[in-house]
Structure 1
Amino acid sequence: MGEHRGPNRGPLGVDPERSILYAQVVSAEPRMSFDEGGIMRQLGIVGSVGKVYLGDVAQAALRSIGTHDSPKFSQEPGFDEQTWQLVCSTDEVTMRISSSHYWGFGLFSRCFLNEIVMEGSLPTRARCAMDIVSSLGRNPWEPFRVRAFERATSGTIQSHTTSWEGLISVARESMSDDIARLQDEVHKMRGIEESADVILDSADEDLNRAREALADKNAPAVERALSRASSSIVRADPKSEMGSMERELLDG
């Protein structure tokens, strides 16, 4: 089955319980370290016992889940610092990433692939997939060696494309629904109070930013813009305590 030594399960995108994605590694950086307990640390931290090449895909994947526990290596790297397995969790998702070479005996960074297994809510997994693609600025399911990649992952390029793009589609639809819901709230509140309309203008601007970020598949930027818009809507709501305080300030 090629040179890939990790679990050979094939890609799985939109699923009620978990997603299994495979990605081509392009850069071995950043280089990290780990302590005796297998906890990943920054390079040069006192107490480190080994070093590891994390790679661009794993770095993007870990960033995609937001604030998380310290990643722990379930399989620490040995002589080959780019072959390893780690696990990382948040309240919403558990992510397991493995790195191994699938061609060329691991002589170059592009010889490696990552398997990313996510368990948690589908919307969260979908947004992670979208953010990974946005962060990398490329399609991670497009390998340097197609046949070797397909053999190593037990999946055709079409199945890999479907897995990734299926999740991205779920994320896009979910975020689009969130934007539409907040936009409806803005429309319903228009014209009730002049002072509130000023605040709602700010919400409209943030919703436009959310649409732009969604077009760029930038999930974190979408969520930040939606959070700001939601806050503005609460401030403009005449029934909310925050809204009352806001209008008192605006009225002087």
Structure 2
Amino acid sequence: MLSDLDPTKSVLHAQIRNAGPTHGHDAEGNLRSRAHPANISAVYLGDVAQTLLKVLQGNTTPVMKEMPGFNEQRWEFTTRIGDISLSVESYSYWGFGLITKCYANTITMNGPLSERARIIFDLVAALPHKPWEMAWRGRFDSKVGDSIQNENSWASHIEKAREDLGEMIELTLLQKGDSVEIEIARNALADDNAPAVLRALARIEADSIEIEVEDVSPDGLALELGEEAIPFVDLSSEEE
């Protein structure tokens, strides 16, 4: 399944379940929280986009590529985090978009595969529903794309991220040895909790650094001399 992943680009479609006027945008198109004083128009962001922005830590301020008009749920924004450029488009795929379940988001990402997979992994773990499950599969298939292929794409990204995290755990085990934190990391991975995995591995690294620091003298020289390595100097002749 992982062989189906594009090495540079991801395009995934997500069903929207809830939406409301949670955000707005200013005159320059910058996406802002609802209460921001510079807002000139409301944006019905939806549960998927809101959750995505929460799991993206350190991304640039999202900018509206397509600003909402009469239909406040029809929009597109772009942002960037590290080496990943990302866009989210909201649109109606059934009827006149009179209810929220008529809407879907298309998430497009460009950049390193491992980073893209991790974003999707975190997004799915944080959402209360499976984003690939379309409310009206037939309408989605006829207007947007193959829902089965879309579901497989989501699964491939999740599998890739889970595989990468598992390799990180095993590499840490090999380098630092077994510990309680390794077990915590494995349990966190079983729960699809990537942040908890990374926290456990970080604690192992921090403990390792503390041990290394204790074995170093204040001037930075390693204290590894044993008793046999300490030279004996007879000063009795000098006293005479």
> In structure 1, how many angstroms separate the alpha carbons of the residues matched to 2:4 and 2:112?
12
Please point out which of 209, 213, 216 is paired with 1:234: 209
The 1:228–1:92 alpha-carbon spacing in structure 2 relative to 1, beyond 3 Å, is farther
The 1:119–1:185 alpha-carbon spacing in structure 2 relative to 1, beyond 3 Å, is same
Larger Rg: 2
> In structure 1, how many angstroms separate the alpha carbons of the residues matched to 2:72 and 2:215?
55
Which consecutive aligned stretches of 4+ in structure 1 deviate over 6 angstroms post-superposition?
Answer: none
Please point out which of 149, 153, 176 is paired with 1:159: 149
Letter in 1 for 2:131: P
> In structure 2, how many angstroms separate the alpha carbons of the residues matched to 1:122 and 1:79?
37
Gap regions ≥5 residues in structure 1: 1-11, 188-199, 246-252
Matched with 1:171 is: 161
> How many pairs align?
216
Matched with 2:95 is: 104
TM-score (norm 2): 0.83
2:6 maps to 1:15: yes
Matched with 2:56 is: 65
What pairs up with 1:22-37 in 2 under 5 angstroms?
Answer: 22-29=13-20, 31-37=22-28
> SS at 1:139's partner residue?
coil
1:98 touches 1:116 (CA, 8 Å); kept in 2? yes
2:195 maps to 1:220: yes
The 1:242–1:181 alpha-carbon spacing in structure 2 relative to 1, beyond 3 Å, is farther
Please point out which of 205, 219, 240 is paired with 2:180: 205
Q: CA deviation at 1:242?
A: 6.5
Identity %: 33
Q: CA deviation at 1:63?
A: 2.4
Letter in 1 for 2:163: E
Q: CA deviation at 1:167?
A: 0.8
Q: CA deviation at 1:229?
A: 2.3
2:21 maps to 1:46: no
Q: Which has the higher helix share?
A: 1
| Cα-Cα RMSD | 2.1
TM-score (norm 1): 0.79
Gap regions ≥5 residues in structure 2: 218-240
> SS at 1:60's partner residue?
helix
> SS at 2:90's partner residue?
strand
The 1:144–1:223 alpha-carbon spacing in structure 2 relative to 1, beyond 3 Å, is same
> SS at 1:28's partner residue?
coil
Letter in 2 for 1:72: V
Tell me the alpha carbon deviations over residues 67-91 of structure 1, each in whole angstroms, 9 at most, x when there is no partner.
1111110000011111100001012
> In structure 2, how many angstroms separate the alpha carbons of the residues matched to 1:36 and 1:228?
45
